[in-house]
Amino acid sequence: MRLLRLYGRIAFATTVHGYEGTGRGFEIRFRRHLERIAPGWREVRLEYPIRYAPDDPLEAFAARGLLLDAEPAPFSEVAEAWPDTCRFERLDRGTLARDDLVLSQVFGLLVLAHYQTRPMDLRHLLDGPNMEVFVLGHEGRIVATALVAMEGGLDTNLAQEIFAGRRRPRGHLLPQTLCAHAGLFEATRLRFARIVRIAVHPAAQGRGLGRSLINGILRDDWTADADLVGASFGATLDLLDFWRHCNFTPVHIGTARNAATGAHAAVVLRSRTTDGARLKDAAEKRLGERLNVLLAGPLRDIEPGIAASLLAAVPAADHEPNADERAEIESFAFGLRPYESALPPLTRLLASRLGKVQAGGMLEDRERDALIGTILQHRDWSTVAEMTGVTGRAAVVSLLFVVHPVQQTGLAVHVNQCQRADEGPVRLGDVRLDGIVG
């Protein structure tokens, strides 16, 4: 994205078919940015093979053996698929291994949707322990699929090794993440049904099929013994919104970007039992307590929209400024007090209120980005200015402190425009500050 903004003429070259992780990422995520930023971009395809002669039988054998040629169902055959026309099913993996058409459609969807899919995933799909395959079918064609693995139920000795960072047993991603990185020792004891992969056919996306598939998984007998159902994925706004609409709550965010996705890994959970609800609540609370510290440190470069989505989802300790803090904030908003001097009380107040305001849709995106980028992430003024489309420090500050009174609350919310019913725009000098973001 940075290269695209810097240069007027640039060529990107990548493979886009099969298991090439970065190439699939280009196809799935980067193309839409190209369409938006450079709508006149041109695509040139190399069709003649480089590694083999055309129609080489060895390449054909490898492609078929590893399902490199797997394709989802034709677009025309699933274009009319809706939740009420689809049949939910948990597939028998022995039967799946003998049904080339269904296996190809299932795996073709996974390769199309997930740019980290690799040959080992085909082995896990067919042979992986504690793994099940769920699908939505429409007139004999696969329109959505999910791979679900059962994790957790680990003994105390192993849990202690995981908590100390000495052991990382395979196949228990969610309990290990919550134990080793979120500090929740109890997570290793509970049972998790982890949605490892989920994919919906591009011809039928945006119709609620993904949510319908997840609801089917939640109702299935195989997941009945799980304390929690969850997933781990590269956090984007679209994915966080999807899981929120499925009533899953974010409980953890990774501190480093994944090398393949370029995103921070998020964990979302939905509880099934009393023990599961207790752990989920503890994880939410812990993320809420830690998020502000992480945003000023290892998450300093995370997208403000993602930070806002997380802040809106987790509980935050309410903070009412005392007289001294209020005086500092007011002297910055209405006087000449430097921003840096008012930063500590601003941080405490914003951290406690921003989630509620964001959840209520009371901030424009660039105001949200300015608040998070400056006060919580401590980014430099030029970076925030570029991010919000304004010029210079003064313009960023004006985004922080344009005031709009909210009815029945007695608090003030940052918005871009405000109009008095009788006199025109409200100016800062005419308004008594009753609060910042609330």
**At the top level of CATH, which class does the domain 323-430 belong to?**
mainly alpha
Q: Please determine, for residue 402, whether its predicted confidence score (pLDDT) is greater than 80.
A: no
Q: How confident is the model at residue 414 (pLDDT cuts 50, 70, 90)?
A: very low
Domain coordinates of the chain in residue numbers? 2-47, 75-313, 323-430
Q: Which of 413, 374, 411, 414 is nearest to 394 (CA)?
A: 374
- The rounded Cα 330 to chain-centroid distance in angstroms is 36
Percentage of the residues of the chain whose pLDDT score is greater than 90: 48
The per-residue pLDDT for 400 is: 84
pLDDT digits (tens, 9 = 90+) for 251-270: 999 999 887 678 899 999 99
Q: What is the mean pLDDT of the chain?
A: 85
Predicted local confidence at residue 434, as pLDDT: 44
Give helix then strand counts, H and E, for the chain.
19, 11
420 versus 322: which is more confidently predicted?
Answer: 322
Q: How confident is the model at residue 20 (pLDDT cuts 50, 70, 90)?
A: low
Model confidence pLDDT, tens digit, residues 236-253: 999 999 999 999 999 999
> According to the model, what pLDDT value does residue 436 have?
46
**Residue with more model confidence, 144 or 38:** 144
**Per-residue pLDDT at 178 exceeds 60:** yes
More confident residue, 267 or 409: 267
The set of residues, in sequence order, having a beta carbon less than 8 Å from that of 183 and lying 6+ positions away, is 286
pLDDT of 431 higher than 50:
no
Cα separation, 414 vs 431, in Å, equals 13
Nearest-angstrom CA–CA distance, 7 and 279: 49
More confident residue, 201 or 32: 201
pLDDT of residue 421: 42
Q: Which long-range contacts (CB under 8 A, 24 or more apart) does 40-45 make?
A: none
Per-residue pLDDT at 116: 67
Could you tell me the sign of the dihedral formed by the alpha carbons of 186, 188, 189, 193, in that order? Answer: positive
pLDDT band at residue 280, thresholds of 50, 70 and 90?
Answer: very high
pLDDT value of residue 253: 96
Closest CA relative to residue 197, chosen from 149, 235, 150: 149
Over residues 10-36, mean pLDDT: 72
User: Strands 131-138, 141-152: parallel, antiparallel or unpaired by DSSP?
Assistant: antiparallel
Q: Could you say which DSSP state residue 375 is in?
A: I
Higher pLDDT, 386 or 363: 386
Report the pLDDT averaged over residues 101-115. Answer: 86
pLDDT digits (tens, 9 = 90+) for 35-94: 888 888 998 988 777 777 888 898 888 888 888 778 889 989 999 999 999 999 999 988
Q: 167 is written with which tokens?
A: 């052991």
| Residue-level pLDDT at 381 | 94
CB atoms within 10 A of CB 432: 9
pLDDT (mean) for 22-47 = 79
**CATH code 1.10.3430.10 for 75-313:** no
Once rounded to an integer, what is the mean pLDDT over residues 366-380? 93
Q: Is the pLDDT of residue 139 over 50?
A: yes
Judged by average pLDDT, the poorest of 128-142, 173-187, 354-368 is: 354-368
Q: Which residue has the higher pLDDT, 50 or 279?
A: 279
Q: What is the pLDDT of residue 359?
A: 72
Q: How many CB atoms lie within 10 A of CB 23?
A: 17
pLDDT, one tens digit per residue, over 308-352 is 999 988 887 777 888 999 999 888 888 788 899 999 999 988 888
Looking at the predicted structure, is the pLDDT value of residue 30 above 60?
A: yes
